[in-house]
Structure 1
Amino acid sequence: MKLLNRSPYLKDIQHQISTYIPLPDAQPEVFSIYQQWLYTRGLYTKMVVKEAALGSFHSSHRDEWTKLTESYLLGHKLADIDFRDRVIDGMLEWLNETTNYTYDLSMVVDNIAQIYAALKDPPEDHPLRRLISDIVSLEFTDAMIQKMVIDRKGELPGGFLLNLVSKLSAKSGTSTPSSNCPKLPELREACHYHCHGKGECYREK
């Protein structure tokens, strides 16, 4: 019942279902993250210390980004705005850790094709699309962008490339004082990448 109360998508189709919910694209681990959010309002995407010790920190960091993006897409499917906004905040926390510890940021485009395919209905300036293109345009070096285009030739969605070119063009046209440069994603206001629009932020509920 808690799930039905939170998801407009499930409310719309509840007359078609009994106890079975058709979510063919959702991995059990990702759905578990959503369930924990429903009951605790916490976002649990990090590997536990014991699991993290089995592999490299880079690998666990990559896994966390994948969980975050897939959690967001599940929230999009279920039309749960609060959950999506909490996941976005998790992404910004992840980004802050990544830049502080100089992890490789190239993983943010690992599943960019999946993201663009899943978010085909919203306008081009969808918050998650905007966040990823901001990360690439503002956090990637020129060498990283060139390598990304070469290594992922044919994988990068046209919409993403057009958005990226626009942002890189705007960035190159800024004057040198830092006050006039675009803000890095982790320095933006809390709700800049949220979906709630003029509605109340989950932080205030």
Structure 2
Amino acid sequence: MSTPPDRSYIGGSAGKAVSTPNRLPSKKHYKNTVVLSVGSSKQEFTVHKELLCFYSDFFRAAFNGSFKEATEGRIELPDTQVDVFEIFQVWLYSRSLLNTQDLQDQPDSQKYPDFEILAGLWVFGDKCQIPLLQNCAADAIIQYNKDENRFRTSVLKTAYDHTMEGSPLRRLAIDILVFRMVHEEAANSILREGILHCWSKESLVDFARGISKAWYLGHPPRNLPEQGKCHYHVHAEGEHC
């Protein structure tokens, strides 16, 4: 079990891992440390084992089971990007995706990681079964898009390359592109020739369905539909924020 399973997305549900912000770790979650070897460069990160297990069903199984990771206190994540894991490590101890970079020269700044990193965090959370990270990443994508009035179509590519049909990340990317972004022929159109490689057949079909639904409902442009806070979240059955 040296790497997370390339598991299918299962209906937006989480296991035992924390998925709501009202549950917090306690002092018992800061006792023992483990080493995570990340990326092709095998960069090592030392983090608290119990904290990882608090947030992740995957790490709980790896470090508390009969796998070698449990006895060695070490796990390899060769398919994880180092820059994504660095932001995850900050989130692990702060539960925030704001100002994860060094902003000492901008003390009043409120800055999220790039859209690509946020999408990568969602996918990492999906593979390692960290639902609260996925929910924080989804919320950050929504807020970043709202604050900056822009989006990266590469998020769409990440969602359709690395998540299964119906995943919240796919739905979020499509909804932002349908309801928030520019469709007409323009330099910043989401359908301009230079970024068509980000679109797959599946995503184009979902986008067309979204546009059709928006027109049918007469939804006002540049606004996401009014939906519950957990619409793009991953929770165990019966849980909500």
TM over 0.5, shorter chain? yes
SS of the aligned residue for 1:85 comes to helix
Q: Does 1:172 align with 2:222?
A: no
- The reply on whether 1:110 has 2:160 as its aligned counterpart is no
CA contact (8 A) 1:95 1:186 kept: no
Residue aligning to 1:137: 178
Whole-Å separation in 1 of the counterparts to 2:228 and 2:129:
23
Query: Is the contact made by 2:160 and 2:200 (CA closer than 8 Å) also made in structure 1?
Result: yes
Q: For residues 42-68 of structure 1, what are the alpha-carbon distances to aligned partners after superposition, in whole Å with 9 as ceiling and x for unaligned? A: 22455444688xxxxxxx87x621221
The number of residues matched between the two structures is 183
Note the alpha carbon deviations across 1:118-171, whole angstroms, 9 max, x for none: 113xxx221111111001111122226865252233441221111000011112
TM-score (norm 2): 0.63
Shift of the 140–42 alpha-carbon distance from structure 1 to 2, 3 Å rule, reads: closer
1:1-205 matches, cutoff 5 A: 1=49, 2-14=51-63, 15-17=67-69, 18-44=72-98, 47-49=101-103, 64-99=114-149, 105-107=150-152, 109-120=153-164, 124-143=165-184, 148=191, 150-175=193-218, 184-185=223-224, 187-196=226-235, 198-201=237-240, 203=241
2:35 — aligned with what?
A: none
Secondary structure in structure 2 of the residue aligned to 1:148: coil
Which secondary structure does the structure 2 equivalent of 1:33 belong to? helix
Cα RMSD for the two superposed structures: 3.1
**Which consecutive residues of structure 1, in runs of 5 or more, have no partner in the other structure?**
53-59, 100-104
CA contact (8 A) 2:122 2:134 kept: yes
Does the Cα contact within 8 Å between 1:36 and 1:44 map onto a contact in 2?
A: no
Gaps of 5+ in 2: 1-48
Runs of 4+ in 1 over 6 A off after TM superposition: none
| 1:90-109 residue CA offsets vs partner (Å, 9 max, x unmatched) | 1122112112xxxxx252x1
Percent of pairs with identical residues? 22
- In structure 2, the CA distance between the partners of 1:155 and 1:35, relative to structure 1 (3 Å rule), is closer
How far has the Cα of 1:85 moved from its partner? 0.7
TM-score of the pair, normalised by structure 1: 0.73
CA distance in 2, matches of 1:69, 1:45: 17
User: In proportion to residue count, which structure has more strand?
Assistant: 2
